[in-house]
Structure 1
Amino acid sequence: MTATVVPSTMDSVPKKLLVAGAWTDASDGRTMPVENPATGEVLCEVADATPEDGARALDASVAAQRDWAATAPRARSEILRRAYDLIIERVDELATIMTLEMGKPLAEARGEVTYAAEFFRWFSEEAVRVDGGFSATPDGKNHVMVLRQPVGPSLLITPWNFPLAMGTRKIGPAVAAGCTMVFKPAQQTPLSALALAAILTEAGLPNGVLNVITTSRAGEVVEPLLRGGNVRKLSFTGSTAVGKILLAQAADGVVRTSMELGGNAPFIVFSDADLDAAVAGAMVAKMRNMGEACTAANRLYVHSSVVEEFGARLAAKMAELRVAPGTEDGAQVGPLIDSAGLSKVEQLVADAVGRGARVLTGGAAPDGPGHFYPPTVLADVDSGSEMLRTEIFGPVAPIITFDDEDEVLRTANDTDWGLVGYVFTRDLARALRVSENLEVGMVGLNTGLVSNPAAPFGGVKQSGLGREGGRVGIEEFLEYKYVATPR
C-alpha cells in the first residue's frame, strides 16, 4: 500500500458516523482506509463503527420514528425534492468521489449520479400518493377502512458497485413512506454514502431519521441489530450468499425483508435478430460498470447461423474500448474493485480457456498498478465452464452457440438465479413467448438496459425478494392496517 493521498475532492466529504444528527467517531476510535482501485493508494480514512455504534444508530432511529411518521407527506416529499436538486447541482463533485473510491470512468459515474437523483425525484412524487380505502362489507353491516402506515425503523445495506444509486433507491422510498433508517454502505465505497447523507441533512431531513454507520465489521454490527427486535424492515442489495445469512438472522424478529441478490443473466440472440441492435445491446448489458453489475449479461447464447458474425463484431467493439483509470480523459473501462475481484475473473477465464474456449479479444490482465482487466470475448465456451454457473462480475463475455428455442430456454433457466434476461429477435410472437417463459424478474427485449427508477426492479428464485423502484417500491416500506367499524 502506498502513502496516503487526499485529493481536494475528498475534503468536503464527512469521514465520521452520522448518529442522531451528529457526526461522531467510532466508539473505539478506529478508522478504516478507503482505497483507489486504479492505483492502490489510500484516499482517506473513515470511522469504523463498532456493534455499540450500530446500537446507538438504531436507538436514534427508534426515537425518531413516531415524529417522522407523523410528518406531513408533502413535507417528506419536499425534502426529497430538495435533495434531488442538490445532487443535480453537484454531479461532477459526486461523480469524482465515486470514481476515486470505486473506479468507474467519470462519464459513467456522472450517469450514475443523475440516475441516483431520479430515485429521489420519483419518490418525492410517490410520497403524496400513498392511499388506503373505505368501503362497505358485502353484507352491508360494517365498514372496512384500510390505512397505510410506515413499517418502522429500517436497516438499509448497500453494495459497492453502484454506491450512490443503491443508496437513493432505498432511502428514497423509506423517506417517502415515513420510515427512519440505519444505513450501512459497503466497506469499499463509504464516501458516496457519506456525501449523500450530508446532502439529505442539508435538504432538511430531521435528526435521527437517517443514521449512517460505515464499518469493516459488518457481521458483528448487523447481526445484533437484526436479532434485537427493533428493526422492522431490512432492505439488502448484495450477494445471494450474504442474503441467506441475513434472512436467517432476520427470522428471529420476523423482520420484513426485501433483497436484490445475485444474477446470472442470459443474453439470447436469435437468428432473425437485428445484429446492430444485438451488439449494441450486448455492449451495454455486459460493459456497464465494467461488468460489475448484477444485471450484467453473464451468458451470451447466440444462434449458430449468426454466432460467428456476432462474435467478430462484439470482439471488435470490445477491443476499441480504452482501459484506464476512471479519472483520465477518454477512459471507458476502469479497474475492478479489488484484487479479489480481479483474481476471480482471471481464474474464470483460465478455466474456460482450459476447456477449449477461444479468446477473440482480451484474456490477460496487464501489469499493475491497479486492478484492471481488459474487455474480453470468449467463443465456443463449454457448458461445464465455471463462469456459466457464477457471476463473473468483470468485463468478460462468454458466447455459447444454440440452435433451438426450447433448448436455449431450458439452458437459460437452468440456474438458481433469475434477476434479468435479454432477448433479441424481430419476431413479435417469439419475443412475447420467450419473455414469458424466461424465469426472471425483468426482461430486456431488444435492449441491453432495464434499470429505470419508474420500473419495478427485482428478481425471482435466488435473485431476491420484493421490488425496488416504480410504483411498488414504496410498498416495501408500508404496512396495511384494517379498521372495522359498524355502519
Structure 2
Amino acid sequence: ELAAAQRRIRHIASRARRAARLVTRVSDGKTHGAFRPEPLGVAAVITAWNYPISVPCQVIVSALLAGNTVVFKPSELTPLCGARLGELFGELLPANCLIPLTGAEETGRALVASDVDMVAFVGSGAAGRAIMAASAAKLHRLALELGGKDPAIVCHDADLDWVARRMMTAALGNCGQECNSVERVYVDRRVEKELLRRLVAEVKRLRAGDPRREETDIGPMISERQRSLVESHVNDALRRGARALTGGRRPRRRGFFYPPTVLTGVDHTMRVMREETFGPVIPVMAFDTEEEAIHLANDSEFGLGASVWSKDILRARSIAQRLIAGIRGINGPGSANAHFPWGGAKQSGLGRMMGPDPFEDFSEVRSVMIHG
C-alpha cells in the first residue's frame, strides 16, 4: 500500500506543475480577460478503512495541491493510520494546512455540517447519500467514491487459467474488502464447468493466516460486523438454492476469518448478486448470449468497475463499452491506476479522482473580464 501511495503522490505532483500554469486567455474584441481553476477553500476529507494510507494520500494531496486546506477524518476502524498520516503531513506543511480529526459517525456528521467548502468522501453508499443530503442546504461541492458490485463477463474464448488466477486478486484481494472487487462473475455456459473447476483449484491453494506472515495468502476481515454481513449474503444464497463449492461457513478459529467461497447456482433474487458483499465471495452465474451477459452486468444499482475476459480484444472492447461503469477492464479488473480517472456511475459515486486532472473536483473555474 505504501508503494501505491508513492505512485499516486508522484503522479498528482507531476500534474500540479501543469495545472499551476493553466490560464486561458480570451477576447471578443471588446472584452478580454482570462479564466483559470482556483481552490475552493477548506476541503473535508473522510476516508474508509480498507486502504487507510494510499486512498487518503491521493485525496489529501489532490486537495492540497489544488490550493485548499484540509480537515481529514480517517475511519474510526483505522485511527492510528490516520493519526500517523497527520503527523507526516504536519512535518511538511505550514501550520493548519491539514488538521486531522478522529472519531466515529458523529464526528463525520459534525464535519460535514461545518463551514467547509467541499466534502471528499470514500466509503459506503449509505454514508455517501447521508453526506449528500446533509450538504444540500449549503450546496457543498462533493466528490463521492462509493460502493461497487463489479461484474466480470467471461466469454467462451477466454483464457480460463488466466481468469482463475487473476480472480484470486480481482475478487479476493484484501479479503474481498475492496470497492472495485469482482463481486459477480458471468460466464458463457459452454465453459462454466471448466471455469468453476479452475476457480475451486485456485481457491484451495490459498493459505489463510496471520497477515504479517509471508506465507499467508488471505487474512481475517476487518470486524465481526463485516464478517456477519458476508455470512448473511452467503446464507441467503444457500437458502435460495445456491451451492458453495468452497467455503460457505465461518471457521472455528480465532479472528474474523471467513473462507474464500465460490458459489454456483446463483441468480439476481439473491442478496449476494445485488448488494455489496465486501468479502471473499465469488458468485458465478452462467449466460447463453452476449446480450444476456450485458443485461445481467448492467442490472445493478452500482456502476464502479466492470471487466470483460476474452482473447478477441475487439469483441471485448465492444462489450465493455456497453457496460455502465466508470472503470472497465479487459482481461483484468477495472483497477486503480493513477493515470486513469477513478470514479463510478449510478450509485457508485460522483466525480473523478486521479487521472490527467486530479484537481478538477477540488477547484472551480473563475474568470476576470476587462471591459473596454
Q: TM-score, normalising length from structure 2?
A: 0.96
1:290 aligns with: 175
2:216 partner amino acid? A
Provide the rounded CA distance (Å) in 2 between the counterparts of 1:458 and 1:304: 31
Partner of 1:437: 322
Correspondences of 1:225-236 after superposition (within 5 Å): 225-228=111-114, 230-236=115-121
State the partner residue of 1:23: none
Code of the residue aligned with 1:226 in structure 2: it is: V
Q: Does residue 115 in structure 1 map to residue 4 in structure 2?
A: yes
Aligned to 1:210: 98
Flag structure 2 segments of 5+ consecutive residues without an equivalent.
none
Q: CA deviation at 1:449?
A: 5.4
> Which residue of structure 1 lines up, in the alignment, with residue 133 of structure 2?
248
Q: Which amino acid aligns with 1:458?
A: G
The equivalent of 2:237 in structure 1 is: 352
The answer to whether structure 1 residue 171 and structure 2 residue 60 are counterparts is yes
Shift of 1:215: 0.7
User: More displaced, 351-360 or 245-254?
Assistant: 351-360
The answer to whether structure 1 residue 482 and structure 2 residue 372 are counterparts is no
Name the structure 2 match of 1:106.
none
Q: Secondary structure at the match of 2:90?
A: helix
5 Å-filtered alignment, 1:416-431, equals 416-431=301-316
- Corresponding position: 1:337 with 2:226: no
**Contact 1:275/1:310 (<8 A) preserved:** yes
1:470 maps to 355
Q: Within 1, Cα distance between the matches of 2:225 and 2:188? A: 34
Alpha carbons 1:299, 1:399 under 8 Å: kept: yes
Matches of residues 40-189 of structure 1 in structure 2 within 5 Å? 112-130=1-19, 131-137=21-27, 139-189=28-78
Shift in Å, 1:350:
1.3
Q: CA deviation at 1:486?
A: 3.5
Q: Where in structure 1 are there 5+ consecutive unaligned residues?
A: 1-111
2:113 aligned partner, one-letter code: R
Which whole-Å CA distance do the structure 2 matches of 1:386 and 1:227 have between them? Answer: 33
Q: Normalization by structure 1: what TM-score?
A: 0.74
In structure 2, C-alpha distance between the alignment counterparts of 1:329 and 1:471, rounded to whole Å:
36
1:411 and 1:329 map into 2 onto residues whose CA distance is 38
> Percent of aligned positions with the same letter in both sequences?
37
C-alpha distance in 2, partners of 1:314/1:449? 20
Where 1:305 maps in the other structure, the secondary structure is helix
Match for residue 281 of structure 2? 396
> Contact 1:355–1:382 (CA<8 Å) still a contact in 2?
no
Partner residue of 1:201? 90
SS in 2 for 1:290: helix
Aligned 8 A contact 2:15 2:357 in 1: no
1:132, distance to aligned residue in structure 2 (A): 3.3
Deviation, 1:136, is 3.7
Equivalent position SS for 1:401: strand
Distance 1:189 1:290 in 2: 17
Residue identity in the other structure for 1:474? F
Match of 1:96 in 2: none
Worse-superposed segment, 331-340 or 477-486 = 477-486
2:24/2:36 contact within 8 Å kept: no
- 2:293 aligns with 408
CA spacing shift, 1:142–1:134, aligned 2, 3 Å: farther
AA paired with 1:177?
Answer: A
CA RMSD of aligned residues (A): 1.4
Letter in 1 for 2:241: G
* Alignment match of 2:336 (pick from 451, 460, 463): 451
Q: Is the 8 A contact 2:146 2:349 kept in 1?
A: yes
* Corresponding position of 1:269: 154
Amino acid at match of 1:153: V
Whose relative contact order is higher, 1 or 2, with alpha carbons under 8 Å and at least 6 apart?
Answer: 2
1:417-441 alpha-carbon deviations (Å, 9 max, x no partner): 1000011012233212111110000
Task: Look up the SS of the partner of 2:285 in the other structure.
Answer: strand
AA aligned to 2:223 is: D
Contact 2:154 2:188 in 1 (8 A): yes
Aligned residues of 1:158 and 1:166 also touching (Cα < 8 A): yes
Structure-2 separation of matches of 1:328 and 1:359:
28
Query: Equivalent residue of 2:103, what SS?
Result: coil
The letter for the 1-side match of 2:304 is: L
Deviations 1:286-320 (A, max 9, x none): 01111001101111001101110101101110111
CA distance in 2, matches of 1:206, 1:134: 30
The residue type equivalent to 1:389 in the other structure is R
- Tell me which amino acid in the other structure corresponds to 1:222: G
Partner SS, residue 197 of structure 2: helix
